[in-house]
Structure 1
Amino acid sequence: MSESAAHEWEGFDGMTKSAGEEDRMLCERYAPYLMFDLREPFLPNLVGFTRLEAAGESPSFSRSFEDADPRTDFILEYAIWWDYEIGHIHQLEQIWIYVGPNGEVLDCEVTFHGRILKGLLKNRSNLSDGTHVRLFAQPGKHALSPMPELFELLPDLYLAAGPRAGLDGLYAGGEVACLLPAGEEVDEIHCRVRRYLRSFAFKPALEYIECRLLPEQFMPWRELREAIPLRLADRLLELELIFARDGFRKAGETPSERRARRSREADAETEREEAH
């Protein structure tokens, strides 16, 4: 068999697919349905996907899968990227879908503040359409759980989204920490991030709406990993421009005050254009 033939096979529609196209189709087919608080200010930006064998290791999280159900045919990893969470500048949460040889969802696991939780309820009641696991994101913080009631057991549920918004500022753990600026400018950038995120502080409603990941948000994990430094640089430049334009005072506005100001600015700009 030629090398090109070895990396091609028939997809669900009977047409020949490359390995990358097949992986993308599978990840879209099994993409989880995410539930977010009504007042959630930050929805996912990108999703890095990887198709794994049960004997493999996660490329985006320090873990292996030796305890996987022996019936597992393959595992789909979703590394979900947010440019911001309510406490600091970025967030990466993982979801693993375990798929059996007949296409059945055997299991699901998710990240929860650096730990791993089961994502599929015992009675499978949070599995929609046979392929989509329904998961809830902690308001502002984005830790994942199949049960929203779990968040109400966290003593800092309201503090993290409200009074402590922006507290961690320019924070990053692991490899991402090496991608952030260093030196004297860090304190200034840290202050910008904290003040910006503080303007998004909110009280969780604990009512949830569904958010389905879009096909254009998906990319292979290696591409997302390469894109992260650029996204971080873009966000920091945006904050620099926001502060240069609006000043510290405006960065401390509440969301409603910010919307009202931007509406006034838009109306004023429209009037200037019409006059011109």
Structure 2
Amino acid sequence: MSESTAHGWEGLNDRTTNAGEEESMLCERYAPYLMFDLREPFLPNLVGFTRLETNDESPSYPRSFENADPRTDFILEYAIWWDYEIGHLYQLEQVWVYVGPNGEVLDCEATFHGKILKGLLRNRSNLSDGTHVRLFVQPGKHALSPMPEMFELLPDLYLAAGPRAGSDGLYAGGELACLVPTGDEVEEIHARVRRYLRSFAFKPALEYTECRLLSEQFLPWRELREAIPLRLADRLLELELIFARDGLRGSEESAAERRMRRSRESGEGAEREEAR
């Protein structure tokens, strides 16, 4: 598992220059703090941001903001991209932070399995450092919630991360469906993705650690949207090379899978030793 570390915001990244200096500063100032399961195998890769007015529509999710608090000065949308989630090839989750004229966080919303949840608790206890909403990430599946207890109400919490890992293969849902391959090779690609993701199956610890998004991960949404087809193509090529190199045949475990499994088992063993 990749280590999640806290980083301060010390400056602007060159990738955000097209969005303007002010928007770059705002994006980092209000970025959510994400809480990941200790055994989470996939941390975010990139974050597309957009500054919106209340009469705008989201560029990355089918919604508008006509019911926003009338005091809202602007809305910051964070479209958080993962190359993988435990069930399929990619994942995109959104966070919206509503900012008042004095810079106060008025509200927050986040996506949860195709729905939208309130992201800021009523007592504002999950607002850190004045401007960063702290959100928990469902293990493996990456739905967002201000309360980790929400995940424990899901009947497939453990199944999704364990026995059903990779079950969706080459995910082709929503607007991004047109970006994935078609034709005779699709089933073969599905099989590679399923097999790769099965090697990351895990049992959620339901203990969480904070991960702060890095400045170099931010870019305007339009740039992320343009980069997605290239990222998908890169991941598919990687999987093709992994399994071609290891001579993937039939149902036998490949060398790549053995290495990944042994690495995880070694890490889990170390965790158990530390727990003692």
Higher relative contact order (CA 8 A, sep 6+): 2
Task: Indicate the residue corresponding to 1:151 in structure 2.
Answer: 151
Deviation, 1:246, is 1.7
Structure label with greater radius of gyration:
1
Q: What amino acid maps onto 2:162 in structure 1?
A: G
Task: Indicate the residue corresponding to 1:257 in structure 2.
Answer: 262
2:91 is the alignment partner of 1:91 = yes
Deviation, 1:254, is 7.3
How far apart in 2 are the matches of 1:180 and 1:89? 10
Task: Indicate the residue corresponding to 1:4 in structure 2.
Answer: none
Deviation, 1:252, is 4.1
- Over the residues paired in the alignment, what is the CA RMSD in angstroms? 1.8
1:1-276 residue pairs with structure 2 within 5 A? 20-248=20-248, 249-250=253-254, 251-253=256-258, 255-258=260-263
How far apart in 2 are the matches of 1:19 and 1:185? 39
1:159 match: secondary structure: helix
Contact residue 199 and residue 254 of structure 1 kept, 8 A: no
Deviation, 1:164, is 0.1
1:177 match: secondary structure: helix
1:77 match: secondary structure: strand
Change (3 A) 1:138 1:18: closer
Deviation, 1:120, is 0.1
How far apart in 1 are the matches of 2:138 and 2:260? 20
How far apart in 1 are the matches of 2:262 and 2:223? 37
Q: What amino acid maps onto 2:104 in structure 1?
A: E
Q: What are the ranges of 5 or more consecutive residues in structure 1 without an aligned counterpart?
A: 1-16, 262-276
Deviation, 1:84, is 0.1
Contact residue 200 and residue 261 of structure 2 kept, 8 A: no
Q: TM-score, normalised by structure 2?
A: 0.86
Tell me whether 170-179 or 216-225 shows the greater mean CA deviation.
170-179
How far apart in 2 are the matches of 1:33 and 1:247? 41
Task: Indicate the residue corresponding to 2:9 in structure 1.
Answer: none
Contact residue 80 and residue 93 of structure 1 kept, 8 A: yes
Task: Indicate the residue corresponding to 1:265 in structure 2.
Answer: none
Deviation, 1:253, is 3.4
Task: Indicate the residue corresponding to 1:9 in structure 2.
Answer: none
Contact residue 199 and residue 261 of structure 2 kept, 8 A: no
Deviation, 1:242, is 0.3
Q: What amino acid maps onto 2:26 in structure 1?
A: L
2:247 match: secondary structure: helix
How far apart in 1 are the matches of 2:30 and 2:221? 16
Deviation, 1:172, is 2.1
How far apart in 1 are the matches of 2:192 and 2:19? 43
How far apart in 2 are the matches of 1:54 and 1:121? 21
2:235 match: secondary structure: helix
Q: What amino acid maps onto 2:258 in structure 1?
A: E
Change (3 A) 1:23 1:162: same
Could you list the per-position Cα deviations for residues 70-94 of structure 1 after superposition, in whole angstroms to 9, with x for gaps in the alignment?
Answer: 0000000000000000000000000
Identity of aligned residues (%): 83
Q: TM-score, normalised by structure 1?
A: 0.86
Contact residue 83 and residue 235 of structure 1 kept, 8 A: yes
How far apart in 1 are the matches of 2:200 and 2:119? 28
Q: What amino acid maps onto 1:169 in structure 2?
A: G
1:253 match: secondary structure: helix
